[in-house]
Amino acid sequence: MAPLFEKRHLQDVSDRHPGAMRYGVWERRKITGLLLFGFAMLAFGLFEAEFNFIRFYAGLFRLGEFSMLMMPPRAGDMFLVYLSALGETLSIALLGTMIGAFLALPFSVLASRNVLPAWATRFLLRRSFDTIRGVDTLIWALIWIGVVGLGPFAGVLAIATSDFGTFGKLFAEAIEAVDPRPVEGIRSTGGTAAQEFRYGALPQALPVIAGQVLYYFESNTRSATIIGIVGAGGIGLHLSEQIRTLEWQHVSFIVGMVLVVVALIDYGSSQLRRMIIGAKPV
Amino acid sequence: MSLTLYSLPDRQLAPLLDAYRHARAARRVRTVFWAAIFLASIAVAAWWVRFDPLLLWEKIGAFTSYFGRLFTLDNGQPVWTDPADWFWGFGKWLRLIGETLLIAYTGTALGALFAFAICFSAASNLSGPMTRWAARRFLEFCRTVPTVVFALVFVLAFGLGPMAGLLALTVHTLGALGKLYTETVENIDMKPVEGLQSTGGGKIQTIAYAVLPQAWSGFATNTLLRMEINFREASVMGFVGAGGIGEQLLSSVRKFYYSDVSALLAMIIGTVFVLDMLTSRLLRFLNRVG
């Protein structure tokens, strides 16, 4: 029996009815090519990283051993020390997020198209935000340690710096996304540019901004748990020390504490977010 | 032409105005209450970390001079006077950037594959309560433990080097992408799924012909955005000995090779820019065909 249609007719059909085919033959080939390239890169990456199954299984076996040794979690007489370090971590996250947000707000206003149509400032500010964001929080922590010395203060500044880059971009996007009609309404009644921004744009942007700040506070608690590894305060120092000295029960205890606190903050901030912006998810 | 404003007689207006004032006052009390809580928590936090604005003020000079030193060569000249000396280790550093990129890519790809495998079990519209609960807790664990912590542990288990870094990235990516994929799958239109099930389609057939055509562009977008994040994470994997450019960066900072630090940072930032450009191009292409 002859086939219903042959492969070469496919090109004909897609040429004659371009709208009926969701993507043409060429696009399909491009996607296939991309996927093949992706898998080839994956294989190459694994090869370059000296990935092999003997090493992998030996490692998994050791991981299994570690997790046996982790049970039950135990803090010994270090419980209060860990608790205070965890408080320090939370404080670093809170202060860092807030400082970053307050510093970013004025700059993000200048970087949004609908407030300041000037092209040069916007370009310059956006690139600066990108540059700051391109550097990981841990690297910023290293740099700030060089400036203010070891301790939680460097951690606060590191979180504030990297958040400044993130918030600058996000706030500017939130301000650009406001509905122009209220702004025009205020302009039509003779409002100044400042009034246009204060009463037209800001009431729309502020709930979005507050939601983002809350979300980043949550994610910064996670970042703040690790900046201690380079000496910038918080529970990270204890965590890395306990891992390096193979005190697995302490490790699981600290990780458990962090998980509980992050879950609590997650819950609290999603409640707050709902209060601020209504039932809409961010 | 005269304009007349009609208003209620005072006797009827008074209770309304009163109610309005009441509502305003209640609102104000609530605002003050939350502001007080907020300020108090800030104060507690500042006390806890011994936050000292005066110290910052004192050290702000140190900050600028630190940056000045970052951009000064050993011979005292600014770095841009002699780019060849600034980037003296370019070949070696480029190889390290390449290794970092590979760690980031491999971690993202493996994490995405695992997330793909697990997301259908975590989606509320496709799986039962028991499987869903287990899958969600697993994903939560994977994304809540920071990548660097996984890297610290994996370096002990798998030995120093990029393999530990890429496995750490894989686990974290699995958690983060797994959640986003699950949300994508939960937002699909269920009618095609019901159609396939009504004709007797199995689980895999349903996913392949009813779920994936709707979900894949969401998957692709999230994966590409994750790639950029993972490159930044991979750039610090070396801090704990898990491969990539981080080790070089850490040792340059610790040994006060200032111009090396700025050169390495410039290369990292440059790579992030290029990556950003490539991903947004790819995203545009995918949006066009999807």
- List, as one string, the DSSP characters of chain B: ---------HHHHHHHHHHHHHHHHHHHHHHHHHHHHHHHHHHHHHHHTT--HHHHHHHHHHHHHHHHHHTB-TTSSBGGG-HHHHTTTHHHHHHHHHHHHHHHHHHHHHHHHHHHHHHHHH-TTTS-HHHHHHHHHHHHHHHHS-HHHHHHHHHHHH-SSHHHHHHHHHHHHHHHHHHHHHHHHHTS-SHHHHHHHHTT--HHHHIIIIIHHHHHHHHHHHHHHHHHHHHHHHHHHGGGTSSSTHHHHHHHHHTT-HHHHHHHHHHHHHHHHHHHHHHHHHHHHHHHH-
Mean per-residue pLDDT over chain B, rounded: 85
Q: How many C-beta atoms surround the C-beta of residue A199 within 10 A?
A: 14
Please tell me whether residue B243 adopts helix, strand or coil conformation. coil
pLDDT of A132 over the 80 cut: yes
Distance from CA of A143 to the nearest CA of B (A): 8
What per-residue confidence (pLDDT) applies to B169?
93
Please tell me whether residue A28 adopts helix, strand or coil conformation. helix
The reply to whether omega before A72 is within 30° of 0 (cis) is: yes
CB within 8 Å of B51: residues ≥ 6 apart: A95, A153, A156, B45
CB within 8 Å of A166: residues ≥ 6 apart: A100, A129, A133, A216
What per-residue confidence (pLDDT) applies to A282?
40
Please tell me whether residue B78 adopts helix, strand or coil conformation. strand
Give, as one character, the DSSP assignment of residue B99.
H
Question: Taking the CA atoms of chain A, what radius of gyration do you get in angstroms?
Answer: 26
Arithmetic mean of pLDDT, A19-36: 73
What per-residue confidence (pLDDT) applies to A277?
65
* Residue type at A21 in one-letter notation: M
> Which residues in chain A are contacts of B157 at CB distance < 8 A?
59-60, 62-63, 66
> Which residues in chain B are contacts of A41 at CB distance < 8 A?
102, 105-106, 109
Phi, psi angles (nearest 5°) of residue B72: -125, 135
What per-residue confidence (pLDDT) applies to A81?
85
Residue A234 CA to residue A223 CA, distance in Å, equals: 10
Arithmetic mean of pLDDT, A70-98: 86
What per-residue confidence (pLDDT) applies to A26?
73
Nearest to A229 among B240, B249, B285 (CB): B240
A231 touching B, CB under 8 A?
no
CA A129 to chain centre: 14
pLDDT of A224 over the 80 cut: yes
- Of the CA atoms within 13 Å of residue A203, those in its CB half-sphere come to 10
CB contact under 8 A, A48 and B233: no
Q: Which pair of structure tokens corresponds to residue B112? A: 């995405």
Distance set, CA B127 to CA B24, B118, B119, B136 (Å): 48, 11, 10, 11
What per-residue confidence (pLDDT) applies to B109?
92
> Which residues in chain B are contacts of A44 at CB distance < 8 A?
102
CB contact under 8 A, A255 and B145: yes
Arithmetic mean of pLDDT, A175-182: 86
B230 touching A, CB under 8 A?
no
Residues 159-188 of chain A with CB under 8 A from chain B are none
The answer to whether the beta carbons of residues A79 and A143 sit under 8 Å apart is: no
Residue B116 CA to residue B105 CA, distance in Å, equals: 16
Distance set, CA B253 to CA A142, A183, A230, B71, B264 (Å): 8, 49, 11, 13, 10
Element counts in chain A: helices (H) and strands (E): 12, 0
- Of the CA atoms within 13 Å of residue A184, those in its CB half-sphere come to 4
Q: How many C-beta atoms surround the C-beta of residue A254 within 10 A?
A: 27
What per-residue confidence (pLDDT) applies to A23?
60
What per-residue confidence (pLDDT) applies to B8?
77
pLDDT of A6 over the 70 cut: no
Give, as one character, the DSSP assignment of residue A1.
-
Distance set, CA A225 to CA A28, A143, A247 (Å): 45, 18, 18
- Best of A147, A223, A258 to mutate (most B CBs within 10 Å, chain B): A147
What per-residue confidence (pLDDT) applies to A178?
85
Residue A42 CA to residue A45 CA, distance in Å, equals: 5
What per-residue confidence (pLDDT) applies to B172?
93
Q: Which pair of structure tokens corresponds to residue B229? A: 């994040």
> Which residues in chain B are contacts of A229 at CB distance < 8 A?
148, 152, 239-240
Each residue's pLDDT tens digit, A29-58: 887 888 898 888 888 888 877 777 888 888
Give the residues of chain B that fall short of pLDDT 50. none
pLDDT of A281 over the 70 cut: no
Q: Which one has a higher pLDDT value, A130 or B59?
A: A130
**B267 Rama sector, left if φ>0, alpha if ψ -120 to 50, beta otherwise:** alpha
ipTM of the complex in this document? 0.80
What is the SS3 string spanning A161-221? Answer: HHHHHHHHHHHHHHHHCCCHHHHHHHHHCCCCHHHHHHHHHHHHHHHHHHHHHHHHHHHHH
Taken in order of first residue, the domains within chain A and their CATH numbers are 83-277 (1.10.3720.10)
Q: Which long-range contacts (CB under 8 A, 24 or more apart) does A2-5 make?
A: none
